[in-house]
Amino acid sequence: MPYAITQTCCNDATCVKVCPVNCIHPTPDEPDFGTTDMLYIDPATCIDCGACADACPVDAIFPVERLTKQLRPYAEVNAAYYADQAPPQQDPTPNFHRWGPPVFHRDIPSDFAPLDVAVVGTGPAGMYAVEDLLLHTNSRVTLIDRLPVAGGLVRYGVAPDHPSTKKIGETFSRFHAHPRLRLRLGVEVGKDVTADELAAKHDAVIYAVGASSARSLGIPGEDLPGSVAATEVVAWYNGHPDAGAVDLSAERVVVVGNGNVALDVARILTADPEALAGTTIAPAALAQLRSSKVREVVLLARRGPDSAAYTAPELLALAQQDDVDLVVDDHDPRVAEAIAAASAKAALLQGVPREAVDWSAPPRHGGRRIVLRFNSAPQEILGDTQVRALRVTGDVEIAAGRVIRAVGYRGTELPGLPFDAGTGTIPHEGGRVRPGTYVVGWIKRGPSGGIGANRTCAQETVGSLLEDAVAGRLAR
């Protein structure tokens, strides 16, 4: 019986390296790797050895026969990937894949003197860079974070009901005790120490500072009380030191955006608080959820279901919640058409009921539910002293007491470093800002991609750093 990869896969490709028969794809060398929602096991080739399940840092891999009811669809999800990749009739090669260009491992002289490298940021990008430096070079690393607890968004972003994903933090924190690493928590670069001071004390500095602020919507009413950014809600339920309380007195909440952050927020706001009680959720947030008035969360997407920003595993998780209904607002015939036409993404909604919702009325009574509304862009947040409704495409007013803007994160400027205000990133080439200064992760690529995407990103950045070191371009 083959194994299957399931919901919590974060694309870090650890399993790819241990599979003895190369049956996990796409691999980091294949073109699909950058865009795939998750990795998949080819059931026709898997020899059932279990090596991948032992290696997976987030417990995402199980034998098909032992999949729980919720995870059972993943047997089909894994197999379907290979059905989609079937070879053309004239090419009978089994296990067909579209290969990318070859990747050559870098070469550094064996007598190369140890480098002193500062890495700023303990999130996934910083930790993959640290791992690469410690395991593949003899560098000494100073690892810095402004927060008193390490982990970046693994600690303060990943939802508390995703405990397997949070487990990857244990893989990263193993390196905190490495003899060539010094950990400095509670130190903010730009405030407690300047970029110039760091540069003067190290051969190279890698900035892995992420994207901590919220992208703005740019519509009237955005700053009304009751309109909050998802960054604040995520910080609240994860107990971030900078977080405040979130008002849960409204029955209907509209979340603008349908990326995975929007889905996380919708799931937590509608979850049974008792099911969250055993998780890492912040105690203050749990107490508030126990007296929450929220009964309906609307996920507002400006595009159709075939271009939804969420990934398939996160939508499946939403659809499988036992005590929360999921419905699609049937306001636009194009939505039903897209679902019926079954592009891979829209097809996920084929079993989800559709209903024409009356947005002028309060949410229907009964249990909690999540409504997916597509083809609907936000135009104005309405209210005098407090949010009362959101006006969307077609002049439709959705009566709601809260609007949560989940339209993406944004990087912030760091004194002493260049900054592209348009993209919210630090300009670079292959991770190199200038010889001696490097970037990795969301501050390099922008705020998209799961945890595993930062691994190949870190390899590129560390590669540029070592190239500069070998070429004598670092002021040592």
Ligand X SMILES: Cc1cc2nc3c(=O)[nH]c(=O)nc-3n(C[C@H](O)[C@H](O)[C@H](O)COP(=O)(O)OP(=O)(O)OC[C@H]3O[C@@H](n4cnc5c(N)ncnc54)[C@H](O)[C@@H]3O)c2cc1C
Ligand Y SMILES: NC(=O)c1ccc[n+]([C@@H]2O[C@H](COP(=O)([O-])OP(=O)(O)OC[C@H]3O[C@@H](n4cnc5c(N)ncnc54)[C@H](OP(=O)(O)O)[C@@H]3O)[C@@H](O)[C@H]2O)c1
Q: What are phi and psi of 421, to 5 degrees?
A: -65, -25
Distance CA 99, CA 260 (A): 29
The reply to whether 312 sits near ligand SF4 by the rule CB under 6 A is no
Q: Provide the minimum distance between the beta carbon of 269 and ligand Y in the complex, in angstroms, as a whole number.
A: 15
The reply to whether 453 sits near ligand SF4 by the rule CB under 6 A is no
Q: Which stretch binds ligand SF4 (CB under 6 A): 2-10, 107-115, 184-192, 276-284?
A: 2-10
Q: Looking at beta carbons only, is 157 or 304 nearer to ligand X?
A: 157
Instruction: Report the length, in residues, of the chain.
Output: 476
Whose CA is closest to 339, among 326, 331, 348, 329?
348
Answer whether the bond into residue 26 is a cis peptide, omega within 30°.
yes
Gyration radius from the chain CA atoms? 23
Taking CB under 6 A as the rule, which mask of x and - marks residues 6-45 in contact with ligand X?
A: ----x-----------------------------------
Please identify which residue in the block is written with the tokens 């602020």. Answer: 213
Give the distance from CA 92 to its chain's centroid. Answer: 37
Q: Provide the minimum distance between the beta carbon of 454 and ligand SF4 in the complex, in angstroms, as a whole number.
A: 12
Choose from ligand Y, ligand X, ligand SF4, none: what does 378 bind? Cβ within 5-8 Å by kind: ligand Y
Do β-strands 432-434 and 3-5 pair in parallel, antiparallel, or remain unpaired? Answer: unpaired
Distance CA 326, CA 342 (A): 19
Choose from ligand Y, ligand X, ligand SF4, none: what does 189 bind? Cβ within 5-8 Å by kind: ligand X
The reply to whether 344 sits near ligand SF4 by the rule CB under 6 A is no
The reply to whether 152 sits near ligand X by the rule CB under 6 A is yes
Q: Provide the minimum distance between the beta carbon of 294 and ligand Y in the complex, in angstroms, as a whole number.
A: 20
Q: Which residues contact 50 (CB under 8 A, 6 or more apart)?
A: 3, 63
Distance CA 193, CA 239 (A): 26
Give the distance from CA 328 to its chain's centroid. Answer: 24
Do β-strands 409-410 and 296-300 pair in parallel, antiparallel, or remain unpaired? Answer: unpaired
The reply to whether 15 sits near ligand SF4 by the rule CB under 6 A is yes
Q: Looking at beta carbons only, is 143 or 230 nearer to ligand Y?
A: 230
Q: Provide the minimum distance between the beta carbon of 141 and ligand Y in the complex, in angstroms, as a whole number.
A: 26
The reply to whether 406 sits near ligand X by the rule CB under 6 A is no
Q: Looking at beta carbons only, is 3 or 237 nearer to ligand SF4?
A: 3
The reply to whether 466 sits near ligand SF4 by the rule CB under 6 A is no
Which one among 57, 123, 126, 450 touches ligand Y, defined by CB under 6 A?
450
Q: Which residues contact 252 (CB under 8 A, 6 or more apart)?
A: 294, 295, 296, 297, 298, 362, 363, 398, 399, 400, 401, 402
Choose from ligand Y, ligand SF4, ligand X, none: what does 121 bind? Cβ within 5-8 Å by kind: ligand X
Amino acid making up residue 146: R
Which one among 33, 36, 40, 60 touches ligand SF4, defined by CB under 6 A?
60
Choose from ligand X, ligand SF4, ligand Y, none: what does 61 bind? Cβ within 5-8 Å by kind: ligand SF4
Distance CA 170, CA 125 (A): 15
Distance CA 405, CA 227 (A): 7
Which one among 28, 41, 306, 424 touches ligand SF4, defined by CB under 6 A?
41
Tokens of 7: 């919901």
The reply to whether 147 sits near ligand X by the rule CB under 6 A is yes
H or E segment at 62?
strand 61-63
Q: Looking at beta carbons only, is 52 or 299 nearer to ligand SF4?
A: 52
The reply to whether 449 sits near ligand X by the rule CB under 6 A is yes
Q: Which stretch binds ligand X (CB under 6 A): 28-36, 122-130, 323-331, 353-361?
A: 122-130
The reply to whether 237 sits near ligand Y by the rule CB under 6 A is no
Which one among 268, 409, 431, 452 touches ligand Y, defined by CB under 6 A?
409
Distance CA 239, CA 365 (A): 31
H or E segment at 239?
none
Could you say which residues in the range 251-290 bind ligand Y, by CB under 6 A?
256-262, 264
Strand intervals (E) in 121-239: 140-145, 181-185, 204-207, 213-214, 227-229
Choose from ligand SF4, ligand Y, ligand X, none: what does 309 bind? Cβ within 5-8 Å by kind: ligand Y
Q: Is 86 exposed, middle or buried (0-12, 13-18, 19+ CB in 10 A)?
A: exposed
Q: Looking at beta carbons only, is 123 or 304 nearer to ligand X?
A: 123
User: Where on the chain is the footprint of ligand Y (CB under 6 A)?
Assistant: 217, 256-262, 264, 301-303, 309, 311, 314, 377-378, 406-409, 447-450
User: Where on the chain is the footprint of ligand SF4 (CB under 6 A)?
Assistant: 3, 5, 9-15, 18-19, 21, 23-24, 39, 41, 46-52, 55-56, 58, 60-61, 452
